[in-house]
Amino acid sequence: MIDFARNVRVWFAPEEVRQEGRTPDYRFSLANERTFLAWLRTALALIGGGFAVDQFLPDLRWGWRVGLALALLAAGVLCSLRAVNHWVRCERAMRRGEDLPVSRFPALLSVVVAVVAVAMVFVVLVGWEG
Amino acid sequence: MSEGAAADRDPGLQPERTRLAWRRTTLSGTVSAVLAVKTALHGGPSPAALVACALCCALWLAFLYLAHRRIRTLSSSDTPPTLTPRAATTAVLCTVAMAVCGAALVF
């Protein structure tokens, strides 16, 4: 948690990253940037999915529809915050010459997406009948 | 293509790939923004809906500007500088703001 707070400070203070260690090969930084963008796209897709659930499933009951949409939007927010946090951690590890940080977030996200998908199947089957 | 240019260029085309990644991300953002605007205007053009609509458009424009600036930096030199944390944070905050805007609209 303290680590996270420290990282949040770095988001807004770019000079702090640059002071540590030495600049890695620019290609590694660009690869890190592309990973960050891929996570940001995942976040945007989740957010778009939230809007889509709200717009394109109008026959669902209100509770289900809003619940699913809010869950997807929240997942998008989490995913984007994690994207920048992981980017900062990787950048810092590369500057210090440490191992890249490991993360259980991808596993967590895939479980959440699987659960949401199963919930969608359930909701579409039940919600349209009832 | 001359011999010198081929030697100068990174054979992995890293800057180009990064540039395209920014383009893809902007495209994803556009899709989200269009869906957001559709949600905002779903119940007719009320003042609140128009404000939400304008906000989403502004967020999209901010992201577009950010991506454009980064793409220009990437194509300006052979060894482009690292993305600044401030730019990364701004891009993420645009995304988060759009999600918050969406939550308000959906609810």
Distance from CA of B42 to the nearest CA of A (A): 8
Per domain, the residue ranges of chain A are 23-129
Q: Give the span between the Cα atoms of A61 and A64, in whole angstroms.
A: 6
- Can you read off the two tokens belonging to residue A15? 């000079």
Q: How many CB pairs (< 8 A) connect A and B?
A: 126
What pLDDT, in 10s, does the model give residues A26-58?
888 899 999 999 999 999 999 999 999 888 877
Amino acid at A97: G
What is the token pair recorded at B97?
């703001």
Of A56, A55, A50, the closest CA to residue A68 belongs to A50
**What ipTM, to 2 d.p.?**
0.83
Residue of A nearest to B34 (CA): A48
Q: Is A63 on the interface with B (CB under 8 A)?
A: no
Chain A positions touching B107 (Cβ under 8 A) are 66, 70
Are the C-beta atoms of residues A77 and A43 closer than 8 Å to each other?
yes
Residue of chain B with shortest Cα separation from A63 = B107
pLDDT in tens, A81-98: 999 999 988 988 888 888
Amino acid at B78: D
Burial per residue of B13-30, b for 16 or more beta-carbon CB atoms within 10 angstroms, e otherwise: ebbebbbebbebbbebbe
CB spacing of B99 vs A73 below 8 angstroms: yes
Banded pLDDT at B2 (limits 50, 70, 90) = very low
Would you call B88 and A87 a contact, using CB atoms and an 8 Å cutoff? yes
Q: Please give the structure tokens belonging to residue A107.
A: 């596993």
Mean pLDDT value across residues A55-79: 87
Give pLDDT, residue A12. 72
User: How do the domains of chain B map onto residue ranges?
Assistant: 13-106
Please state, rounded to an integer, the average pLDDT across all residues of chain A. 84
Distance from CA of B16 to the nearest CA of A (A): 10
Please name the member of B32, B82, B106 whose beta carbon is closest to the beta carbon of A70: B106
User: What DSSP line would sit under B88-106, residue for residue?
Assistant: HHHHHHHHHHHHHHHHHHH
How many CB atoms within 10 Å of residue A37? 26
What is the band of B4 on the pLDDT scale with cuts at 50, 70, 90? very low
The more confident residue out of A5 and B75 is: B75
**Rounded CA separation B72/B69 (Å):** 5
Q: Between the CA of residue B2 and those of B6, B8, B75, what are the distances in Å?
A: 7, 10, 19
